[in-house]
Amino acid sequence: MPPKKAVEEKKVLLGRPGNNLKSGIVGLANVGKSTLFQAITKCNLGNPANFPYATIDPEEARVIVPDERYDWLCEKYKPKSRVPANLTVYDIAGLTRGASTGAGLGNAFLSHIRAVDAIFQVVRCFDDAEIIHVEGDVNPTRDLDIISEELRLKDIEFVEKALENQKKKTRQGGQSLQMKQWKEEEATIEKILAHLRDGKEVRKGTWGPKEIEVINPLFLLTAKPVVYLVNLSEKDYIRKKNKYLPGVAKWIQDNAPGDPIIPISVAFEERLTRFETDEEVAEEEKKVGAQSALPKLIVTMRKALDLGSFFTVGPDEVRQWTLRNGTKAPQAAGVIHTDFEKTFIQAIVFKYTDLKELGDEAEVRSKGKIMTKGKDYIVEDGDILHFKAGAAKS
């Protein structure tokens, strides 16, 4: 008999479980965060200003996720209603050195970061005498050090408090199963604290599933995925050259290996928002020889959050739903309506790629490509789904 195929266990993820995940734009004061937020969301909040803390409360917006699959499905079905996927983005007040001890907007800023699931970290790599740098001069690697250190110091404070609370439980003594669990959790918290004190970020540690279950409720700042946005002048962005970039790339390689890094020009993105139509934007991009980085930025963040999509289609509505990769069919049904998860019967599934290749649902069906799946089916990115559910109990 052939050996049994090993079942690959899905890695337990750091972070809040769920499908409605949020990302925050983070950086030192005056690096271009609020202007970037306006460009992403195509809205004018009227708050970018040439002084620190122009953003006091985090602004929130939902941005449409660009996806050619959704566009193609809308073109095919020509539905009455079209609902694309979106990503929730927050503009968060600028950080300063000493924020972990309350400097600047300190604690308020850090609590806003705790509330998001991932970070767009904006790093200033442009010189402009008219835009004040909170540290006095432009030095991206120093700025990266400051942010990394402030987030890590705040995490140490959070974990020390958690350890103190955990020790109150274990001091009670005893041999119960509950006490055994508390002691295991205490050991994990001590391990997290040692990791942070060693100058390391939590998301770069190696953690077992049980340890991650202890980490996630702590909402640690350094446990969140990060996408680095290197803010260049428009000139440098168009010519794809910048004197600071090599240093930033090396810093990320040394301190956050594997994290995405996206060059962007906030000035260029802001200028593109002044055009009234997509055609005018495309013409300007062609004229200068550079394209907006915003679509890449949004898609990269979804990937960092381990989010995927499934679709519901028909003449009434084409809709792209967001869910965490690895989600089973009943929980995917629950994204549409919580009752559907509770009363789930089955899912009718076919693939976007099959539909596009074969042309229509009848042909997909005739080729045996439409499947009926039960509660253990793991939804894949690009699935087109129809759920069958029972009547909800009143």
Find out whether 169 is annotated in a ligand binding site. Answer: no
* Residue entry with tokens 């009926």: 372
Give residue 367's domain range: 326-389
The alpha-helical segments, DSSP class H, found in 59-139 are: 68-77, 106-114
CA atoms of 151 and 78, how far apart (whole Å): 47
Find out whether 32 is annotated in a ligand binding site. Answer: yes
Specify whether 170 is located in the same domain as 89: yes
In a domain, 218, yes or no: yes
Give me the residues paired with residue 25 across strands.
Answer: 91, 120
Tell me the CATH number at 361. 3.10.20.30
CA atoms of 316 and 81, how far apart (whole Å): 6
Give the Cβ contact number of residue 29 at 10 Å: 21
Specify whether 125 is located in the same domain as 215: yes
Give me the residues paired with residue 230 across strands.
Answer: 123, 263
Specify whether 61 is located in the same domain as 136: yes
Specify whether 228 is located in the same domain as 375: no
**Opening angle at CA 334, ends 332 and 335, nearest 5:** 70
* Residue entry with tokens 């705040």: 154
In a domain, 16, yes or no: no
Nearest to 88 by CA among 117, 66, 60, 118: 60
Find out whether 31 is annotated in a ligand binding site. Answer: yes
* Residue entry with tokens 């009670």: 172
Specify whether 210 is located in the same domain as 281: yes
User: Could you tell me the end-to-end alpha-carbon distance of the chain, in angstroms, rounded to an integer?
Assistant: 51
In a domain, 280, yes or no: yes
Conformational region of residue 258, where left means phi above 0, alpha means psi within -120 to 50, and beta covers everything else = left
Specify whether 372 is located in the same domain as 295: no
Find out whether 100 is annotated in a ligand binding site. Answer: no
Tell me the CATH number at 211. 3.40.50.300
How many domains are contained in the chain?
2
Contacts of 353 (CB under 8 A, 6+ apart): 382
Find out whether 30 is annotated in a ligand binding site. Answer: yes
Specify whether 53 is located in the same domain as 201: yes
> Do residues 389 and 329 lie in contact, with contact meaning Cβ atoms separated by under 8 Å?
no
- Per-residue pLDDT of the chain (394 residues), as tens digits, is 555 444 444 556 788 777 778 898 888 877 888 888 888 877 433 333 333 333 334 578 888 888 999 999 999 999 999 999 988 888 876 776 665 555 444 455 567 788 889 999 999 998 876 665 655 578 999 999 998 998 899 899 999 999 999 999 988 877 889 989 999 999 999 999 999 999 999 999 999 999 999 999 999 989 999 999 999 999 999 999 999 999 999 999 999 999 999 999 999 999 998 998 889 999 999 999 999 999 999 999 999 999 999 999 999 999 999 999 999 999 999 999 989 999 999 999 999 999 999 999 999 999 999 999 999 999 999 999 999 988 766 5
* The residue type at 91: D
Give me the residues paired with residue 81 across strands.
Answer: 317
**What is the arrangement of strands in the sheet containing 118-124, beginning at the earlier edge strand?**
59-64, 86-91, 22-26, 118-124, 226-231, 261-264
pTM score > 0.75 for this model?
A: yes
Using CA atoms, how far residue 121 sits from 39, 97, 140, 297, in Å, is: 16, 15, 12, 11
Helix (H) or strand (E) segment spanning residue 321: strand 317-324
Strand locations in the chain (E): 22-26, 59-64, 81-83, 86-91, 118-124, 226-231, 261-264, 307-312, 317-324, 344-351, 371-373, 383-389
CA atoms of 25 and 118, how far apart (whole Å): 9
CA atoms of 53 and 150, how far apart (whole Å): 17
CA atoms of 372 and 9, how far apart (whole Å): 24
* The residue type at 271: R
In a domain, 112, yes or no: yes
HSE-CB at 383 with a 13 A cutoff on CA atoms is 27
> How high is the pLDDT of residue 379?
96
> How high is the pLDDT of residue 112?
75
